Chains A and B, each alone.
Chain A
């Protein structure tokens, strides 16, 4: 143990990462006072089912509570948001005006859904985002009411899973995606094409390369139609805005921590950086809100909105906040996530977005059953499977050992000879993918008009 006594640990963020960290702290032998602060009123719940089983009516929105792996003997301050952090005074400020002192702080405030940029349109009945269990309950109820059509804005994982649930329930759904294909930001254009085929084969009205320019309500304030950038007007009763997430770092503004829209920067031991770029010794971060370097991926700062990442970083932060400095462990977990949509189990390992090329190594794209491996400058950097997840451990070993790309081996279910790598086709990261676009047209001062294009997918 470190020389300093640690009597009080405070965790801000009482969802998956916060809960797992609390359990890990007790597992590690912490016997002091433990406080968990969360802005949501309900105890920690699992989010992956919210875009899957809950929308299918298989599980109630309020029935995804995370089981406690052990008694954590903590003081829970649920329904109370943290509003500030006093680094020098080692105190967290809460919305109810109270102050909570700490010896060690873990920040696991996660993300929230990126809202529809036009507030009046976002307020229409039938327009919503999906992040919380309350959101999922609302959306499930809207789907129960048999809408004429659901519009999903954005074809990332959440948007695609929502579309899948709609189709499984026999509800007409349009997916509007700014990019060339679904999942293109996470998996690139080649796998995105496979995802597009899957959506269309299941009856999704998938429209790529378009944005939703406005949502229109009726006199009663209910959504009735949507306008797309290609001029299409769609009748729809429900619009789900699935444009990604925003990191919950606003409460840290001015605190002196290196926190911003891209998350809270930390070192590989989960220690938060202050705004000088110096690692703190008493503030740790974990989960969606964290951004930390990974040795295996060129020491790039990775922000990973993955379930497994939250669990892993939580455990690591708990360990590192209690142990002596020489016993600290680095964050070496290989990023991994899964999705389930249109009857296909999608799994990913490594960092596909770093891939410059991709090659199918098992199965076939056109069967919707395959493993595709991503290469980065001649080494294996990631693998993605459609209904082939059992092999990913093998590919994890290739990633961990920096195996040459393309991998060459004789094995089961290999594609025909001559299958070669192709460009992975990720969108150019220098093109801003978030935030509204404003264009100005017209010559005469009286004609000058602004066209507002809301935050695209």
Chain B
């Protein structure tokens, strides 16, 4: 008898990408489980949540899955107190208390971008929601927010894809021939970001990267390598996850046409609906970057010291002990404290931005696109099991309202 496939390998198998939820259900039968390779999976809601808030769990000590183009670490891979210092500095030009209106004031620009993208739907009767809508929209938002020239987008897109594609999740898959060698991508992207911050330092605009390059708050300024590491993280995070959230949103609504109609009739439904979406189809499926610093007992199981732990957010989000009817998409579920943005000190930095972008994208899609239908269900998925989302989402429709 051959050794059983570990659950993580089965989850990483691209064949599981369209519907990993039966695997998560299987995983939840043992809330804290040691896999054959020694990694522990934690897959139930309260247990994940408690580890996300447990100071004995580090984000710093486990080797990274994705090669990073900087000598410094991003805050995603730092523990407090270092993490807290970097996060405070990066928060200063992004949100309250120092810059409370940054995201709010982007709403008009966002609405204009979405209008333009949907206007272009009018010439056709079918569109790819990923390439024609969910991808270009957040890209234009982060380019404006960070001060990245929009014409550079194809370059950093290729770099991030090449670096993300190099992540080893344990499953066999053919490397995409269009991608760069990860080491080359790392060097090029590192150089690009360093140069970009340099430019902003000399000629600062009102964007976030300029602020990071020149502002001195109470915690001082990030070092140049920290700036590059932060820029890399923010570009990927603002790039990959929102695309998936919007695409998952359109896919889920097309699978639940009555909810799409409700959203069309009542745009305010988008607010709770996005929270439910983050529970039901979270763009970040699990966190593969935690390691214990001490023995930690959770749900009656002791995870030994110095052990890698995968926190299975998407599994916890469907935990029936926490959410009644957990496998059903219920947009106005009142109690929806999901793990889609994580929890604890690493709680999603861009959450307010992602919420606003997704709200505008989904309400406008529901309002304007007439009779949308999925062309293929399931759609083709991207390989990455952590940042999970469709590669394409072809949708047919009967026209676009103005």
Contact = CB atoms under 8 A, between A and B. Distances in A.
Contacts of A394: 50, 53-55
A419 B49 CA distance: 29
A411 B56 contact: yes
B257 interface: no
A250 B24 CA distance: 58
Contacts of B344: 390
A393 interface: yes
Interface in A407-428: 409-414
A393 B81 contact: no
A123 interface: no
A362 B83 CA distance: 14
Interface in A386-404: 390-391, 393-394, 397
B55 A409 contact: yes
Contact of B293 (A362, A363, A390, A411): A411
A410 B49 CA distance: 19
A412 B293 contact: yes
A454 B49 CA distance: 49
Contacts of B57: 411
A57 to B, nearest CB: 15
Interface in B14-55: 49-50, 53-55
A377 B311 CA distance: 36
Contacts of A397: 50
Q: Which of B55, B83, B344, B347 has the most CB of A within 10 A?
A: B55
A137 B80 CA distance: 40
A411 B80 CA distance: 10
B108 to A, nearest CB: 24
A262 interface: no
A390 B347 CA distance: 10
B158 to A, nearest CB: 35
A394 B49 CA distance: 10
Contacts of B179: none
Q: Which of B49, B60, B294 has the most CB of A within 10 A?
A: B294
Q: Which of B53, B60, B83, B345 has the most CB of A within 10 A?
A: B53
Contact of B80 (A362, A393, A410): A362
B293 A410 contact: yes
A413 B49 CA distance: 19
Contacts of A362: 55, 80
The 9 A-B residue pairs with the shortest CB-CB distance, nearest first, are: A411-B55, A413-B80, A412-B79, A410-B294, A393-B53, A411-B56, A410-B293, A413-B81, A409-B294
B301 to A, nearest CB: 15
A369 interface: yes
Interface string A353-378: 00000000011000001000000000
A390 B305 CA distance: 22
Contact of B294 (A363, A390, A411): A411
Nearest to A393: B53
B58 interface: yes
B84 interface: yes
A360 to B, nearest CB: 13
A362 B84 CA distance: 13
- Chain B interface SS verdict (over half): loop
Q: Which of A362, A390, A393, A414 has the most CB of B within 10 A?
A: A390
A413 B50 contact: no
Interface in B54-103: 54-58, 60, 79-81, 83-84
B353 to A, nearest CB: 20
Interface string B290-315: 00011000000000010000000000
14 contacts: A362-B55, A362-B80, A390-B53, A390-B345, A391-B345, A393-B50, A393-B53, A394-B50, A394-B55, A409-B55, A411-B57, A411-B294, A412-B80, A413-B80
A411 B296 CA distance: 11
User: Interface size bucket, B side?
Assistant: 20 to 34
A369 B218 CA distance: 14
B104 to A, nearest CB: 16
Contacts of B56: 409-412
Nearest to A411: B55
Interface of B: 49-50, 53-58, 60, 79-81, 83-84, 293-294, 305, 344-345, 347
B260 to A, nearest CB: 27
Contacts of A369: 81, 84
Given A397-B50, A412-B83, 20 more contacts: A363-B81, A390-B53, A390-B344, A390-B347, A393-B49, A393-B53, A394-B53, A409-B55, A409-B56, A410-B56, A410-B293, A410-B294, A411-B56, A411-B293, A411-B294, A412-B55, A412-B80, A413-B55, A413-B81, A413-B84
A346 to B, nearest CB: 16
A391 B55 contact: yes
Contacts of B345: 390-391
Contacts of B79: 412-413
Nearest to B97: A343
B330 to A, nearest CB: 18
A393 B305 CA distance: 20
Contacts of B294: 409-411
A453 B83 CA distance: 50
Nearest to A397: B50
Nearest to B334: A69
Interface string A413-457: 110000000000000000000000000000000000000000000
Q: Which of B49, B60, B84, B305 has the most CB of A within 10 A?
A: B84
B82 to A, nearest CB: 9
A394 B54 CA distance: 6
Contacts of A412: 55-56, 58, 60, 79-80, 83, 293
Contacts of A413: 55, 79-81, 84
Contacts of A393: 49-50, 53
A414 B79 CA distance: 11
Nearest to B78: A412
Nearest to A401: B297
B293 A391 contact: no
B88 to A, nearest CB: 9
Contacts of B305: 410
Nearest to A362: B55
Interface in A263-282: none
A363 B85 CA distance: 12
Contacts of A390: 53, 344-345, 347
Contacts of B60: 412
B172 to A, nearest CB: 35
Nearest to A363: B81
A362 B58 CA distance: 14
A414 B80 CA distance: 9
Q: Which of A390, A411, A412 has the most CB of B within 10 A?
A: A412
Interface string A170-208: 000000000000000000000000000000000000000
Nearest to A414: B55
Contacts of A391: 53, 55, 345
